């Protein structure tokens, strides 16, 4: 897809806002045809670059722009068999959430999405990031979740929702796409209960795998969480062709946090949400 922005330029991305979306080919020759076409197309359309998120059959011959990790859990066997593969601390956190009386609900309704949108704004503020605009999630609920392509899991204590996750469906795979929580209730471990309830639910619904989404290698806390579920870890390479250099390039960004994160984390929530509404469409 082409992104055309006065702020971030014109470029091709497969696929905007996706963790991975690699070419649907099965041999090196087909990949070369696609890459040649993209180079011709991008040159004609004035792209700054095009980016492919996922493996290529001849990827060892190309410089990698950026690498992420993804974690996948096989949904097979019994609940007890899956549970036995978890790290001890993961099982302990699930028990803690159950003992605290937390409940998890699954829904594809706009009401559930609106609860998630609020939690997502809190989470993005904590990490110093503007949240996605409300209409982004409204479109996600209307066009995908509302048509059977996914659902939202919400954890609550009493009548208060304190954590949520958005899961998307593709054939026999479930993809964890977005997660959010109220940090005030972190000690109750609602995210652990959400994932356990999701695993049990999708196991019995006949799904084959649960993918935990992408993680940056420097995000040690999130990596530790995802590795605690007995998941299989794999690398996802991103490739970026820069038209000014006429070649594939490597990222030059620093792993350190962006200075703007401190500014965003201090903004009042309404201002931060307005910032996200203005800026989010220029990225992806």
Residue 57 confidence (pLDDT): 67
Residue 186 and residue 120 share a domain = yes
Based on the fold, state whether residues 83 and 10 are members of the same structural domain. Answer: no
pLDDT (tens digit, 9 = 90+) per residue, 74-85? 999 999 999 999
Q: What local confidence, expressed as pLDDT, does residue 55 receive?
A: 83
What pLDDT, on a 0 to 100 scale, did the predictor assign at position 10?
96
Q: What is the pLDDT, as a whole number, of residue 60?
A: 66
DSSP 223: H
Q: Which of 42-56, 94-108, 227-241, 256-270 has the lowest mean pLDDT?
A: 256-270
228 and 88 belong to one structural domain: yes
Report the DSSP beta bridge partners of residue 234: 70
Which CATH number covers residue 220? Answer: 3.40.630.30
CB 150 within 8 A of CB 144: yes
**More confident position, 78 or 264:** 78
Quick one: pLDDT band at residue 212, thresholds 50, 70, 90? very high
Query: Is the per-residue pLDDT at 121 higher than 60?
Result: yes
- Is residue 168 domain-shared with residue 246, that is, in the same domain? no
Q: What is the pLDDT of residue 31?
A: 84
The answer on 227 and 241 residing in a single domain is no
Q: Note whether 13 and 94 are same-domain residues.
A: no
Please tell me the distance from the alpha carbon of residue 59 to that of residue 77, in angstroms, as a whole number: 35
Instruction: Tell me: do 161 and 212 sit in the same domain.
Output: yes
**If DSSP codes are grouped into helix, strand and coil, which group holds residue 161?**
strand
Q: Per-residue pLDDT averaged across 17-46, rounded? A: 90
- Quick one: tokens of 224? 């530790």
Which pLDDT band, with edges at 50, 70 and 90, does 24 fall under? confident
Residues 36 and 49 in one domain: yes
- Pair (87, 137) in one structural domain: yes
Q: What pLDDT score was predicted for residue 254?
A: 61
48 near 9, Cβ under 8 Å? yes
Q: pLDDT of 139-184, one tens digit each? A: 999 999 999 999 999 999 999 999 999 999 999 999 999 999 999 9
59 and 91 assigned to the same domain: no
Q: Do 85 and 127 reside in the same domain of the chain?
A: yes
Q: Model confidence over 83-118: pLDDT tens digits?
A: 999 999 999 999 999 999 999 999 999 999 999 999
Q: HSE-up of 45 (CA within 13 Å, CB side)?
A: 18
Total tally of structural domains belonging to the chain: 2
CB 188, CB 223: distance < 8 Å: no
Cβ atoms of 247 and 39 closer than 8 Å: no
Instruction: Indicate the average pLDDT of the chain.
Output: 93
Do 241 and 160 lie in one domain? The reply is: no
What range does the domain containing 32 cover? Answer: 2-68+236-282
pLDDT score recorded for residue 132: 94
């Amino acid at each position: 897809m082409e992104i055309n922005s006065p702020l971030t330029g014109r470029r091709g991305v497969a696929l905007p806002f996706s963790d991975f979306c690699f070419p649907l080919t099965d041999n090196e020759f087909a990949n070369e045809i696609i890459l040649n076409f993209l180079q011709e197309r991008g040159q004609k359309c004035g792209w700054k670059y095009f980016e492919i998120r996922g493996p290529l059959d001849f990827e060892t011959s190309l410089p990698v722009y950026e690498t992420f990790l993804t974690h996948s859990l096989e949904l097979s066997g019994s609940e007890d068999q899956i549970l036995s593969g978890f790290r001890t601390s993961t099982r302990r956190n699930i028990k803690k959430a159950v003992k605290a009386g937390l409940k998890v609900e699954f829904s594809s309704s706009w009401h559930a999405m609106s609860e998630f949108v609020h939690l997502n704004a809190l989470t993005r503020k904590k990490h110093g990031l503007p949240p996605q605009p409300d209409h982004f999630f409204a479109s996600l609920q209307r066009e995908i979740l509302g048509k059977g392509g996914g659902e939202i899991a919400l954890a609550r204590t009493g009548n208060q929702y304190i954590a949520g996750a958005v899961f998307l469906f593709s054939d026999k795979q479930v993809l964890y796409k977005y997660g959010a929580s109220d940090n005030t209730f972190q000690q109750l471990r609602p995210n652990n209960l959400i994932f356990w309830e999701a695993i049990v639910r999708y196991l019995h619904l006949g799904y084959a795998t649960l993918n935990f989404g992408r993680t940056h290698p420097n995000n040690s806390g999130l990596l530790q969480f995802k590795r605690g579920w007995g998941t299989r870890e794999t690398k996802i390479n991103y490739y970026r062709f820069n038209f000014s250099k006429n070649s594939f390039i490597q990222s030059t960004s620093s792993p350190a946090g962006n200075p703007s994160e401190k500014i965003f984390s201090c903004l009042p929530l309404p201002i931060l949400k307005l910032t996200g509404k203005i800026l989010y469409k220029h990225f992806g």
